Structure 1
Amino acid sequence: MVCCGFMWKSGGEDLQGFYPIRPECEADVPRTRFKSRAGKTLSARRWAAAFTEDGHLDMERVLRRIQRGGVHPSIKGAVWEFLLGCYDPNSTFEQSNKLRSRRREQYSAWKEECRKMVPVIGSGRLVSLPVVAQNGQPIEDSSEENQGWLVKTAISDQRILQWMLSLHQIGLDVVRTDRYLCFYESDSNQARLWDVLAIYTWLNPDIGYVQGMNDICSPMIILLENEADAFWCFERAMRRLRENFRATTTSMGVQTQLGVLSQIVSTVNPRLHQHLEDLDGGEYLFAIRMLMVLFRREFSFMDALYLWEMMWAMEYNPFMFASYEEPENSHAPELNPKLLKQCGKFERKSVKSGGQTEQHKTLAVFVVASVLETKNKRLLNEAKGLDDVVQILGDIAGNLDAKKACREALRIHEKFLRKVKKQ
């Protein structure tokens, strides 16, 4: 299994070279704190050595290494596919390759289905202007470059109409996504991101497209050269996050996690929670962005990837692949001591705690709690209103240490479990 990354280097010193920044943007981009550390970071050599000759992966060994020092950029894409449950560690190379081929064929079929409705899909270009009016009528566009793919007839099918109405919003977000990276100077790379988001939106009308999905999908496009592989990696990530993006007329799905965050802070730091309540911040709406896009705005690009893989490694469950492939069997069997060792640190604690709800099994919420904990004194002493809270938390942009944040999140998780058990 080989990762096709954006840029290959044999050494690990100049890691930023894997995701080069446009020169004119360097002054505005948060500095990267992540460093590849020998003996801690999962290297390409250690990754290759974790497979048996026929392709079985020692996931327990891999998780230990990731939880100590993350993943080297040269293999992130390949490792993420396993962390997100795209492939079963117990499968052989032959089985994994067959599954990869089957998924690529499926993605190609879906892409062709979408292309027949909107021919610009798969053309290396993207849509950033409305394709169709709200009433389903075609939108006239006299520009010559658009004549080849404009909608020619009225759209009456509501699913198709809602999908087409979302395409230009996806395009507007795509052209703003990670624009400081040299990778997106290429129109074809922007188009790949747009294609994946458009096809995902077509397949998931219950969620549709919500701003922020572009921030989740972008790293997959950069790390995985094959567009179909990037799609499946994004699809698996969205299985964890999709409820955050589910919107109704009155609320966003992420508000469930904000409620959990409120419970956690009120349990482990009641003084801070009361202070935020007094400032009318007890609903923790200031944390929406952190949870929606998994701290993409609070970390540099590389540090955000480091944080994601740390969290996914800590949340890993060996039954993840089976539950994704066979949804009807999604209720995983009870973990015996041997299988428990194959879980990440956070998942092990959650399983051992027994009565923990699914909402409390999301490490990202505890990471937000850890961020609040690091700013505890400033929030208590300086925050006189919600604007102050937002400003204090805004100061963390680019200055968070992913490993420390995860370590503190685990500590808060343990403290929370102890207090809940006493109660």
Structure 2
Amino acid sequence: MRLLACCYNDPEMQIDPDTVYPIRPDCRLDAPKTRFKPRAGLTLSPKRWKLLHNEEGVLDIAGVIKRVQRGGIHPTIKGEVWEFLLGCYDPKSTTEQRNQLRQQRRLEYEKLKTKCREMDTTVGSGRVITMPVITEDGQPIADPNADGGARPSSVGSEQQTTGAPLPKEVIQWKLTLHQIGLDVNRTDRVLVYYESQENLARLWDILSVYSWVDKDIGYCQGMSDLCSPISIILEHEADAFWCFERLMHRVVQSFGATCLLDGSKKAISTFWNKGARSSRSWTQCTFGSFKTLQLMWSMEYNPNLFSMLESDTGTSKATTMDESVLRQCGKFERKNLQADKKDEEIPLSVFVVASVLEARNKKLLGEAKGLDDVVKILNEITGSLDAKKACREALQIHEKYLNTVKA
């Protein structure tokens, strides 16, 4: 079910996503049909990706950003490139340094997963929880399908052996597990990949561990849609976890900072729910949506992203304005740095949404009588959104915004 190895033989060949990410036969008529068409000299191909590393493995990130912005990423190297775009690795690092960091992260993930397994033995078992396992006061909920009504498979080892009351944070975490399971069972079900219980459990494990690690956010509906493509593309579960963790840094930085300061998890949940409602692409064309997201990541890229995330400052701003830094930035980030927009910066995603709404302005104003009509009109975008056009128009709106602020 992983990316087809044969795709590497001819990096400039036309690739059908249905071959790389097979769709269930009963869903093929409803799923949007898109075709990846590499363009020689524009697309970041496996061959070009290799050439952009020097002998020590140091990456020419400026060359990567240029290719991604112009022609996208070849499906066979998507996961590797996403790791850099999301700040998992420093482009100035060598292959040996990245291998060491990767191994450290894998060990760290295993420790986190082991801790979660101690609290609930379903983690790492290949199963998915879809029913509540605990009450709000920490009492186990009986499983009507189990002998004697007990639910021994999901009882934490500490509580099972000592009978001690659970800490508040553990109760809160266990209360989210069944919601994660319900969402996982609804995520990208058109893909053959998720006909496997093992793959469903892998996605559930990643999200369950993340909800324990980031206690401020925990789990909100919609996270499974963001995590799914990462889980599919990155072969090692730990690598997928850390890539998703970096993506969540970006999402929270863009949308959730105020909500976190206010302690309002409900506001973030509302954001996720609206996002899930407003596009059928999360259930039928997730990878098409990520074409837009990866283009946005490249346009917002800053060469200091890795170091800033490692120091946990919550920002990816460059500390200098020299030409070498600007050259390695994406188009959007470069404009912000040149305009010296360090405070109250608006993320590119806001301008992309504005460009989409502007393009459908007449239809929205003429036909929409409520939120349901808005959702219906926006659903028509599914599978047909031109990522480059949307981002190009977003940059134009961003330019107008900067000029207005300057004036």
TM-score bracket relative to the smaller structure: 0.7 to 0.9
Partner AA of 2:201 in structure 1: A
1:95 aligned partner: 97
Q: Which of the residues 29, 32, 36 maps onto 1:30?
A: 32
The alpha-carbon distance between structure 1 residues 178 and 314, as it changes in their structure 2 partners (threshold 3 A), is same
The alpha-carbon distance between structure 1 residues 393 and 329, as it changes in their structure 2 partners (threshold 3 A), is closer
Q: Which of the residues 389, 401, 404 maps onto 1:416?
A: 401
Distance in 1 (alpha carbons) for counterparts of 2:124 and 2:293: 29
1:14 aligned partner: 15
1:369 aligned partner: 354
Distance in 1 (alpha carbons) for counterparts of 2:246 and 2:272: 27
Matching of residues 65-214 of structure 1 within 5 Å: 65-144=67-146, 147-150=152-155, 152=160, 153=163, 155-214=165-224
Contact 2:190 2:283 in 1 (8 A): no
Please give the TM-score of this superposition, normalised by the length of structure 2: 0.88
Q: Which of the residues 282, 299, 320 maps onto 1:334?
A: 320
C-alpha displacement at 1:294, in angstroms? 9.2
Partner AA of 1:148 in structure 2: S
1:354 aligned partner: 340
Partner AA of 2:135 in structure 1: A
The superposition leaves residues 160-183 of structure 1 with CA deviations (integer Å, 9 ceiling, x where unpaired) of 000000001000100111010111
Distance in 2 (alpha carbons) for counterparts of 1:352 and 1:193: 40
Contact 2:223 2:272 in 1 (8 A): no
Partner AA of 1:337 in structure 2: E
Partner AA of 2:332 in structure 1: F
C-alpha displacement at 1:388, in angstroms? 3.6
Distance in 1 (alpha carbons) for counterparts of 2:49 and 2:372: 46
Distance in 2 (alpha carbons) for counterparts of 1:397 and 1:129: 32
The alpha-carbon distance between structure 1 residues 227 and 287, as it changes in their structure 2 partners (threshold 3 A), is closer
Q: Which of the residues 285, 306, 317 maps onto 2:291?
A: 306
Out of 89-98 and 4-13, give the one that drifted further.
4-13
Q: Does 2:63 correspond to 1:58?
A: no
Distance in 2 (alpha carbons) for counterparts of 1:312 and 1:32: 21
SS in 2 for 1:252: helix
C-alpha displacement at 1:250, in angstroms? 8.8
The alpha-carbon distance between structure 1 residues 19 and 99, as it changes in their structure 2 partners (threshold 3 A), is same
C-alpha displacement at 1:254, in angstroms? 8.2
Out of 206-215 and 330-339, give the one that drifted further.
330-339
Distance in 1 (alpha carbons) for counterparts of 2:335 and 2:169: 42
Matching of residues 386-401 of structure 1 within 5 Å: 386-401=371-386
The alpha-carbon distance between structure 1 residues 160 and 294, as it changes in their structure 2 partners (threshold 3 A), is farther
What runs of 5+ residues in structure 1 fail to find an aligned partner?
256-284
C-alpha displacement at 1:39, in angstroms? 1.7
Distance in 1 (alpha carbons) for counterparts of 2:165 and 2:179: 18
Distance in 2 (alpha carbons) for counterparts of 1:37 and 1:328: 38
Distance in 1 (alpha carbons) for counterparts of 2:278 and 2:330: 22
The superposition leaves residues 198-255 of structure 1 with CA deviations (integer Å, 9 ceiling, x where unpaired) of 0000111111110011111111100101000000000000001125465756951488
C-alpha displacement at 1:354, in angstroms? 1.6
C-alpha displacement at 1:101, in angstroms? 0.4
Matching of residues 270-281 of structure 1 within 5 Å: none
Q: What is the aligned residue count?
A: 388
C-alpha displacement at 1:387, in angstroms? 4.2
Partner AA of 2:211 in structure 1: T
Distance in 2 (alpha carbons) for counterparts of 1:254 and 1:217: 16
2:245 aligned partner: 235
Partner AA of 2:385 in structure 1: L
- Percent identical across equivalent pairs? 49
1:325 aligned partner: 310
SS in 1 for 2:38: coil
The superposition leaves residues 318-338 of structure 1 with CA deviations (integer Å, 9 ceiling, x where unpaired) of 001111112369664123111
The alpha-carbon distance between structure 1 residues 227 and 251, as it changes in their structure 2 partners (threshold 3 A), is closer
Q: Please provide the CA RMSD for this pair.
A: 2.7
Partner AA of 1:77 in structure 2: G
Distance in 1 (alpha carbons) for counterparts of 2:265 and 2:88: 34
SS in 1 for 2:28: helix
Contact 1:6 1:18 in 2 (8 A): yes
Contact 2:113 2:123 in 1 (8 A): yes
What runs of 5+ residues in structure 2 fail to find an aligned partner?
none
